[in-house]
Amino acid sequence: MNRTELKYRILTYGCQMNEYDSEVIASVLDNMGGAPVETDDEADIIILNTCCVRKTADNKVYGRLGQYKQLKDQKPDCMIIVAGCLAQKDKEGLAKKYPHIDLVLGTHNLRELPQLIEEIRGKGPVVRTDDQGAAFLSPSVRKGTTSAYIPISIGCDCFCTYCIVPYVRGRLQSRPVEEILIEAEKLAAQGFMEIFLLGQNVNSYGFDLPGQPRFWELLEKLDAIKGVSRIRFTSPHPKDFPPELVKAVAELPSVCECIHLPLQAGSNRVLKLMNRRYTREQYLDIIEDLRARIPGVALSTDLIVGFPGETEEDFEEGLEFIRKIEFDQAFMFAYSLRDGTAAEKMPGHLEQDVKMGRLYKLIDMQNDISRKLNIAQEGKTVECLVEAVSKKDPGKVTGRTRTNRVVNFAGSEDLIGKLVNVKLIKGFTWGLTGEMCI
């Protein structure tokens, strides 16, 4: 292949970990003389970096792969690569169903990509999906200039009954502290104001490392790096959220006053069915501790409705609990069946219309809460990190408060990457508008 003509297009589905992996893939391809393009027509290589957490994510990729049959007929030299969690889950099944794919690349095989691109051309679908051995790779290409992801662990040992992650990302594998610090120092030197720590279960960090460094100890070390103004992390598990971690969030200046703590269900019976390993009372204790120690802390969560066996009473009990907590933001989903998980075989799977009815009711309630809490911010002056020019209005920029609220205000491109003070003017469900203080 003529390396100077290697044009690639990466389509990323799913979570932040996939966005990070796409940065790694882009870096690998750039090192091979590649350049990103925006359309399939221009591309020599198309990479679908896939997600399989919900069935809708699978279906999106299947639909696109079906369409690529025609593209491959027209452009037989165009290489089609399927990477990520769906590749790890479906393996040879993907290659059989879509023989026009060139490579199925599992989540543990990313580092093999450069040599595979050289070797597999014209060899039909090649499947490379090891069950372990993932490496932490640092991308040289970063999307954006203000905030950068650092994965601190991959995989998960929790086996929540609905979740496919432990099967496609493997068991918990923590990254050595030194490696993380080196990456953070490098990012700070490059001018990134914010680092975003990633892990499927971020606060279980270190259990598998020699000496078992704890997550809050890692936060202390990262906080000491000069130039890092903000540290965020996702997603922590409530079962590993001790007072030491609450204290670290409260006391370390760069750790943002904003915690995303997946609740998943507000009924103890459903939490047990989900194998979440905490009760709503234990969850509430963490929330109360956070609110007591960190004035103005913002809380967000993930919620699933319509889990197998969830009764109307369970749902209403959960709704009441969620109403009582008042999350600033929630990511809400109807349960999606994943083959191979424990929940697949559970009795009491609900009809789609029942699940969707509950989801809409939850969304309506949460939207009211988010709007109310954003309106309560009106009049305050807060620090915003400017991220981008507004997509809807080029005369405005979009920034984020330390509590992760999105704020739109008048400003220009040269503000991107800067911390500015903004007076919050009007709250909405999605965030706020504001005015920059000069």
Minimum Å gap between C-beta 200 and ligand SF4 is: 4
φ, ψ (nearest 5 deg) of residue 350: -95, 155
Per CB under 6 A, the segment of 113-121, 163-171, 374-382, 383-391 that binds ligand SF4 is 163-171
Pick 98 or 327: Cβ nearer ligand SF4 = 327
Site string for ligand SF4, 64-83 (x = CB under 6 A): --------------------
Reference 298, options 381, 238, 229, 376; nearest CA is 376
Pick 277 or 418: Cβ nearer ligand SF4 = 277
Minimum Å gap between C-beta 237 and ligand SF4 is: 5
Reference 13, options 67, 53, 70, 71; nearest CA is 53
Minimum Å gap between C-beta 163 and ligand SF4 is: 3
Distance CA 294, CA 5 (A): 53
Distance CA 425, CA 435 (A): 7
Tell me the residue type at 229.
S
If one asks whether residue 165 binds ligand SF4 (CB under 6 A), the answer comes out as yes
Minimum Å gap between C-beta 318 and ligand SF4 is: 17
Pick 169 or 400: Cβ nearer ligand SF4 = 169
Pick 165 or 332: Cβ nearer ligand SF4 = 165
Instruction: Identify whether the C-beta of residue 20 lies closer than 8 Å to the C-beta of residue 234.
Output: no
Distance CA 109, CA 228 (A): 31
Minimum Å gap between C-beta 275 and ligand SF4 is: 8
If one asks whether residue 304 binds ligand SF4 (CB under 6 A), the answer comes out as no
Helices within 294-399 (DSSP H only): 312-325, 352-375
Minimum Å gap between C-beta 144 and ligand SF4 is: 25
Minimum Å gap between C-beta 48 and ligand SF4 is: 22
Pick 160 or 299: Cβ nearer ligand SF4 = 160
Tell me the residue type at 33.
G
Q: Angle at which helices 312-325 and 352-375 pack, to 10 degrees?
A: 10
For ligand SF4 (CB under 6 A), the number of binding residues is: 10
Reference 368, options 410, 334, 310, 322; nearest CA is 322
Pick 136 or 192: Cβ nearer ligand SF4 = 136
DSSP 265: -
Tell me the residue type at 256.
C
Pick 159 or 331: Cβ nearer ligand SF4 = 159
Identify the residue among 22, 49, 201, 300 touching ligand SF4 (CB under 6 A). Answer: 201
DSSP 156: -
Pick 156 or 298: Cβ nearer ligand SF4 = 156
Minimum Å gap between C-beta 170 and ligand SF4 is: 11
Give the footprint of ligand SF4 on residues 141-160 (CB under 6 A): 156, 158-160
Whether omega before 370 lies within 30 degrees of 0, making that bond cis, reads no
Identify the residue among 49, 109, 173, 200 touching ligand SF4 (CB under 6 A). Answer: 200
Q: Which residues have a Cβ under 8 Å from the Cβ of 17 and sit 6 or more positions away?
A: 151, 154, 169, 198, 200
Query: In this structure, what token pair is assigned to residue 290?
Result: 């956070």
Instruction: Identify whether the C-beta of residue 240 lies closer than 8 Å to the C-beta of residue 207.
Output: no
19, burial (CB in 10 Å: exposed 0-12, middle 13-18, buried 19+): middle
Instruction: Identify whether the C-beta of residue 150 lies closer than 8 Å to the C-beta of residue 229.
Output: no
Pick 147 or 203: Cβ nearer ligand SF4 = 203
If one asks whether residue 170 binds ligand SF4 (CB under 6 A), the answer comes out as no
Identify the residue among 64, 89, 214, 237 touching ligand SF4 (CB under 6 A). Answer: 237
Residues that bind ligand SF4 (CB under 6 A): 156, 158-160, 163, 165-166, 200-201, 237
